């Protein structure tokens, strides 16, 4: 039950509204639709990491019984190279041909009947090689945009940004200890269990319907309309339930191809990726190379930080190096700073967002160097963070001042937690690591439509697809305002024809932005009901009040339900480009044990502290923290894209792309610190992304302390730990 914070619904744990459908298998996800005479689409993808397409011959495939249509990039009204390649392919898995057939096996057979002649080119799949002068260049037209100016020379470095403050040389001179390290991380995937899918139907009257699992139906609408060169108002995107996204489903891959095939065949076409296509054909998180030098005085004050961040954008520019730079030192006060960030193309899938994109990589470096400084100064790492930690009014070292934030509160909560009080244990190689992290969180446009029913229940229509319990958290916010139970709000996620524009369920924006809009819609409903009751009671409007779910004037007092009977239907419809998101911090504590004979790292205990502002539904806020922490365990210890000499991924399956199982992880204890965000009526801060920012360094610090060797390369798989231990 809500206690202490004065809320009746916010802070409670009702059963989520879509829960029964999801535990009974009734909920329909993107690939669950079946229509009579539906065609199945498949995509032929490049087997080469880098090649010119010399010729494409689809005649044998077209002649195969059951094949209805075949398309290439020349059939797309607007060229979109990552959807269907034009005359070059830039990664193994790059889509080239789409086809539709009567069943999925026929479609697969037809793929093998397509004849493509390639001129194979040398490939580069390592950022360290791609930045060299002598590297293979992917795009002759790409030159570096360096600090705002283009160099004009073909390169793989698409952009160079810099953040600079103070004088780092002076800062290092002032320091008593300076640590300089180079860190690498490998390409990792969001790992959503549900593969990419889209089903499309084209009506002769020109309306295109796309059913898909997506983090943003309006994004899909805009992209599909753009590529097919038709008005967005003619594209209806119906978001089905989504089986995980983590940022990876905020863009389209197969939807334009399904739509194109549907338009040309006049039949409904479903295109669903296989798991290896997901690995090779969608955007993973970038591999990175980071050099970092930091200095501190012997009493534990950071004096300077100088870093070069090289992030792989994949086949096309656009890695999250900018966000990485913004978040890297957000938790600290650093007077002298130099960050140079580089976005680099390589022959890998075009990188895309993965939970706080860019920040886990840069924080890995920062939080590990800080830990090493603490070791050299013999200072407790949490105490170090109390000394240097930022609070309201301090500047993020890259510039903006923090508003009300709860960073120090997370460090204090970690310090006083039972986990930090007990010894890490002895006998084997054991170590404890801590790390912090930050994410700015998003706001932006959302729309909500509330209808009051006669029985006092509320229909709540929204455009925010529900990845992890937002139907519940948004319904709860409306319920809180209206003074009714969460169960009396019936949320529905509707299509792009049925609700105003709404941004992605991503960027940790939804509970804040869509919640805010739901609150406004609820307030509008209350105002309208007051007006109707003023008429009904024959009093002036200013004599009608609403408080605690009750409408009253000096003579009357009725509950919301009773008022609904009198006033309904009442509709509150709001669209707003919201602002006021609150950035958030997390601090994690991890204990590990290392088997010195095998190099295996076991995570013994995990505590994740995070400032959530106000937890609307604590269970789902906890769930975000736990999920992010375990993704971090995978990224730190076992996940990576493995490439062969020809630049081809060799482990594109769940067998050898190793995500943690239930047998690999401990319980994840969560501590939710609540420093309310003034930008939201209930103090909400985004929770979804922060939790993936600290784990990489927290685990690396734990392993480093356990084995007495600084670990700077991820993943810390058993082979690399054995090397660090000098056993092999």
Partner 1 sequence: MSRKVHVQTQINRENVEFLCEPRQSMLEVLRNELDLTGAKEGCNNGNCGACTIIVEGRPVNSCCMLGVEAEGKEIQTIEGVATPEGLHPLQQKFLEHAALQCGICTPGFIMNAKVLLETNPNPTEEEVRFWLAGNLCRCTGYDKIIRAVLDTTETTGVSTNG
Partner 2 sequence: MQAFDYVAAKSLSEAVNLLTKYRDQARILSGGTDLIVQVRENHRQVGMMVDIKGVPEVNTLSYNGSLEIGASVPCYKIYSNEAIKSNFPALVDATSIIGGVQIQSRASVGGNLCNASPAADSIPALIILGAQCVIDGPNGERSVAVEDFCDGPGQTALESNELLVKLVIPTPTPNASSFYLRFTPRNEMDIAVVGAGAAVELSADHQTFVSARIALGAVAPTPLFADDAGSLLAGKPVSDESIEEACEAAKDIATPISDMRGTATQRTHLVGVLTRRALNGAINRIKEGS
Q: Determine, following the binding rule CB under 8 A, whether residue 639 of this chain makes contact with partner 1.
A: no
Residue from 41, 247, 623, 676 in contact with partner 1 (CB under 8 A): 623
Shortest separation between residue 241's beta carbon and partner 1, angstroms: 7
Residue from 244, 403, 580, 718 in contact with partner 1 (CB under 8 A): 244
> The tokens of 213 are what?
């699992």
Per partner kind, with CB cut-offs from 5 to 8 A, the member of partner 2, partner 1, none near residue 718 is partner 2
Which residue(s) pair with 163 in the sheet?
339
Distance in angstroms (rounded) separating the CA atoms of residues 251 and 504: 10
Shortest separation between residue 633's beta carbon and partner 2, angstroms: 11
Q: Determine, following the binding rule CB under 8 A, whether residue 103 of this chain makes contact with partner 2.
A: no
The answer to whether 669 and 608 are in contact (CB under 8 A) is yes
Only segment of 83-91, 101-109, 423-431, 461-469 that touches partner 2 (CB under 8 A): 101-109
Binding letters toward partner 1, positions 59-78, x by CB under 8 A: -------x------------
The secondary structure of the chain in percent helix, strand, coil, rounded to multiples of 5, reads 30, 30, 40
Shortest separation between residue 717's beta carbon and partner 2, angstroms: 6
Non-local CB neighbours of 549 within 8 Å, separated by 6+ positions = 8, 482, 483, 484, 559, 560
Q: Which is nearer to partner 2, 708 or 719 (CB)?
A: 719
Q: Determine, following the binding rule CB under 8 A, whether residue 275 of this chain makes contact with partner 2.
A: no
Residue from 1, 23, 547, 655 in contact with partner 2 (CB under 8 A): 655
Residue from 668, 702, 703, 711 in contact with partner 1 (CB under 8 A): 668
Query: How is 596-654 classified by DSSP, letter by letter?
Result: TTT--EEEEEEEEEEE-SS-SSHHHHHHHHHHHHHHHHHHHHT----B-TTS-BS--ST
> The tokens of 104 are what?
């999925």
Distance in angstroms (rounded) separating the CA atoms of residues 395 and 709: 34
Non-local CB neighbours of 12 within 8 Å, separated by 6+ positions = 1, 2, 476, 486, 617
β-strand 157-165 against 143-146: which pairing, if any?
parallel
Residue from 106, 307, 362, 607 in contact with partner 1 (CB under 8 A): 106
Cα 105 to chain center, whole Å? Answer: 33
Distance in angstroms (rounded) separating the CA atoms of residues 576 and 309: 36
Q: Which is nearer to partner 1, 24 or 542 (CB)?
A: 24
Residue from 136, 485, 654, 709 in contact with partner 1 (CB under 8 A): 654
Per partner kind, with CB cut-offs from 5 to 8 A, the member of partner 1, partner 2, none near residue 108 is partner 2
Q: Determine, following the binding rule CB under 8 A, whether residue 664 of this chain makes contact with partner 2.
A: yes
Shortest separation between residue 638's beta carbon and partner 1, angstroms: 13
Q: Which is nearer to partner 1, 85 or 472 (CB)?
A: 472
Nearest to 340 by CA among 164, 588, 515, 183: 164
Window 557 to 616, contacts with partner 2 (CB under 8 A): 597-598, 600
Residue from 55, 547, 663, 667 in contact with partner 2 (CB under 8 A): 663
Strands (E), 166-318: 177-185, 197-202, 208-212, 235-239, 269-272, 288-296, 302-314
Q: Determine, following the binding rule CB under 8 A, whether residue 376 of this chain makes contact with partner 2.
A: no
The answer to whether 308 and 290 are in contact (CB under 8 A) is yes
Q: Determine, following the binding rule CB under 8 A, whether residue 667 of this chain makes contact with partner 2.
A: no
Binding residues for partner 1, per CB under 8 A?
13, 15-16, 18-20, 22-29, 31-32, 34, 66, 104-106, 190-195, 241-246, 272, 274-275, 467-469, 617, 619-620, 622-624, 626-631, 653-655, 659-665, 667-668
């Amino acid at each position: 039950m809500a206690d202490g914070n004065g809320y009746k619904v916010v802070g409670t744990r009702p059963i989520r509204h879509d829960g029964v459908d999801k535990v009974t298998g009734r909920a329909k996800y993107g690939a669950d639709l079946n229509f009579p005479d539906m065609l199945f689409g498949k995509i032929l993808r490049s087997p080469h990491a880098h090649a010119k397409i010399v010729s494409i011959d689809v005649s044998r495939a077209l002649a195969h019984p059951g094949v209805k249509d075949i398309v290439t990039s020349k059939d797309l009204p607007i060229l979109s190279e990552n959807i269907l390649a034009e005359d070059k392919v830039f990664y193994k898995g790059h889509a080239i041909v789409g086809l539709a057939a009567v069943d999925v096996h026929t479609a697969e057979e037809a793929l093998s009947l397509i004849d493509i002649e390639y001129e194979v080119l040398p490939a580069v799949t390592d950022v360290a090689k791609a930045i060299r002068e002598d590297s293979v260049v992917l795009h002759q037209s790409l030159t570096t945009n360096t600090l705002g100016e283009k160099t004009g020379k073909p390169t793989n470095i698409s952009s160079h940004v810099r953040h600079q403050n103070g004088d780092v040389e002076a800062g290092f001179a002032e320091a008593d200890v300076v640590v300089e390290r180079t860190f690498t991380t490998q390409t990792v995937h969001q790992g959503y269990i549900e593969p990419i899918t889209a089903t499309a139907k084209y009506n002769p009257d020109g309306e295109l319907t796309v059913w898909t699992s997506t983090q943003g139906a309006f994004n899909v609408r805009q992209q599909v309309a753009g590529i097919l060169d038709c008005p967005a108002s003619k594209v209806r995107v119906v978001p089905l339930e989504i089986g995980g996204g983590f940022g990876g489903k905020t863009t389209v891959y197969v939807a334009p191809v399904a739509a194109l095939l549907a338009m040309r065949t006049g039949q409904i076409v479903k295109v669903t990726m296989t798991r290896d296509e997901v690995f090779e054909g969608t955007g993973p998180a970038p591999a990175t190379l980071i050099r970092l030098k930091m200095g501190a005085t012997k009493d534990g004050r950071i004096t300077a930080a100088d870093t070069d961040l090289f992030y792989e954008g994949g086949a096309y520019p656009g890695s999250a190096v900018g966000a990485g730079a913004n978040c890297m030192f957000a938790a600290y006060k650093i007077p002298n700073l130099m960050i140079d960030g580089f976005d680099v193309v390589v022959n890998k899938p075009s990188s895309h967002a993965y939970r706080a994109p860019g920040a886990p990589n840069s924080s890995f470096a920062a939080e590990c160097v800080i830990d090493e400084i603490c070791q050299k100064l013999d200072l407790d790492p949490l105490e170090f963070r109390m000394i240097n930690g930022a609070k309201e009014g301090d500047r993020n070292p890259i510039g903006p001042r923090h508003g009300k934030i709860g960073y120090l509160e997370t460090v204090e909560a970690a310090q006083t937690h039972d986990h930090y009080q007990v010894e890490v244990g002895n006998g084997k190689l054991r170590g404890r690591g801590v790390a912090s992290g930050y994410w700015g969180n998003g706001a932006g446009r959302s729309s909500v439509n509330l209808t009051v029913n006669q029985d006092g229940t509320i229909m709540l229509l929204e455009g925010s697809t529900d990845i992890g319990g937002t139907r519940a958290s948004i319904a709860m916010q409306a319920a809180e305002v209206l003074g009714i139970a969460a169960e009396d709000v019936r949320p529905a996620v509707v299509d792009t024809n049925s609700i105003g524009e709404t941004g992605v369920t991503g960027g940790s924006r939804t509970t804040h932005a869509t919640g805010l809009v739901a609150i406004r819609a609820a307030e509008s409903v209350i105002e309208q009901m007051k007006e109707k009751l003023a008429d009904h009671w024959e009093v002036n409007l200013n004599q009608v009040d609403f408080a605690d779910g009750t409408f009253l004037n000096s003579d009357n007092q009725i509950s919301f339900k009773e008022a609904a009977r009198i006033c309904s239907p009442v509709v509150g419809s709001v669209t707003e480009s919201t602002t006021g998101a609150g950035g958030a911090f997390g601090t994690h504590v991890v204990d590990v044990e290392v088997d010195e004979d095998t190099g295996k790292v076991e995570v013994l205990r995990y505590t994740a502290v995070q400032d959530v502002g106000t937890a609307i539904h604590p269970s789902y806020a906890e769930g975000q923290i736990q999920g992010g922490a375990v993704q971090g365990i995978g990224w730190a210890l076992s996940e990576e894209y493995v490439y062969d000499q020809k630049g081809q991924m060799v482990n594109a399956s769940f067998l050898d792309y190793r995500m943690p199982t239930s047998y690999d992880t401990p319980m994840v204890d969560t501590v939710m610190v609540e420093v309310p965000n003034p930008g939201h009526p209930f103090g909400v801060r985004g929770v979804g992304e922060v939790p993936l920012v600290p784990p990489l360094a927290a685990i690396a610090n734990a392993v480093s302390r356990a084995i007495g060797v600084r670990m700077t390369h991820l993943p810390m798989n058993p082979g690399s730990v054995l090397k660090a231990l000098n056993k092999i």
